[in-house]
């Protein structure tokens, strides 16, 4: 076999193992360790919390949340300090403090950014009808507490 053919065969075998899960066992074993599963649970938990808040808030703004209005949603998910800062931001910017815009987004993507010092950062990318996007950064305590910060993306 020539070197090019051997390299192509090695790449094909590796790709096949990856696709069938043949090389996934060590990665899964590491992820299943107590520390790995604890971190994964925190990651999932903070993303779920931000997603639940965002979706319920959007529904409340649109009048389709039968159980809560926007104020009630914010009271349930946000710390009182953050809620007060958002009210001040809304007055100063004449826009919705959660969406960081004067209109509501058409869709959103939510992703885990990282964690440290007892909290995680979750980023919501909002997509608007004109094709524009806004990233809003959320800070969520890893201990399961309420969302403690929400701000524009760092510049």
Would you say residue 7 lies in a domain?
A: no
Is residue 19 within a helix (H) or strand (E), and if so which, with residue range? helix 3-20
Domain count, the chain: 1
Tens-digit pLDDT string for the chain (155 aa): 444 433 333 333 333 333 333 333 333 333 343 445 555 666 779 999 999 999 999 999 999 998 999 999 999 999 999 999 999 999 999 999 999 999 999 999 999 999 999 999 999 999 999 999 999 999 999 988 999 999 999 88
Would you say residue 25 lies in a domain?
A: no
Would you say residue 33 lies in a domain?
A: no
Q: DSSP assignment, residue 102?
A: S
Question: What residues does 3 pair with on adjacent strands?
Answer: none
Residue 105: give its domain's CATH number.
Answer: 3.10.450.50
Would you say residue 96 lies in a domain?
A: yes
Question: What residues does 140 pair with on adjacent strands?
Answer: 120
The C-alpha atoms of residue 4 and residue 89 are separated, in whole angstroms, by 61
Would you say residue 80 lies in a domain?
A: yes
Sign of CA dihedral 27, 30, 31, 36: negative
The C-alpha atoms of residue 72 and residue 91 are separated, in whole angstroms, by 19
Would you say residue 132 lies in a domain?
A: yes
Would you say residue 56 lies in a domain?
A: yes
Q: Which domain holds residue 78?
A: 38-150
Q: What is the reported pLDDT for 47?
A: 95
Of 145, 69, 55, 65, give the one whose Cα is nearest residue 99: 55
Would you say residue 104 lies in a domain?
A: yes
Say if CB 37 and CB 31 are below 8 A apart. yes
Q: What is the reported pLDDT for 145?
A: 92
Q: What is the reported pLDDT for 2?
A: 43
Transcribe 56-82 into DSSP letters: HHHHHHHT--SS--HHHHHHHHB-HHH
């Amino acid at each position: 076999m020539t070197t090019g053919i051997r390299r192509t065969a090695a790449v094909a075998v590796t790709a096949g193992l990856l696709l069938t899960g043949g090389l996934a066992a060590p990665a899964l074993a590491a992820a299943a360790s107590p520390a790995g599963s604890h971190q994964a649970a925190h990651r999932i938990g903070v993303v779920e919390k931000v997603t639940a808040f965002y979706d319920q808030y959007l529904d409340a703004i649109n009048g389709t949340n039968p159980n809560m209005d926007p104020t009630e949603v914010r009271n349930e998910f946000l710390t009182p300090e953050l809620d007060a800062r958002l009210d001040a931001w809304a007055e100063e910017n004449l826009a919705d403090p959660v969406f960081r815009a004067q209109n509501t987004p058409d869709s959103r993507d939510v992703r885990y950014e990282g964690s440290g010092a007892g909290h995680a950062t979750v980023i919501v990318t909002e997509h608007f009808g004109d094709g524009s996007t806004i990233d809003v950064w959320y800070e969520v305590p890893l201990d399961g507490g309420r969302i403690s910060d929400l701000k524009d993306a760092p510049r």
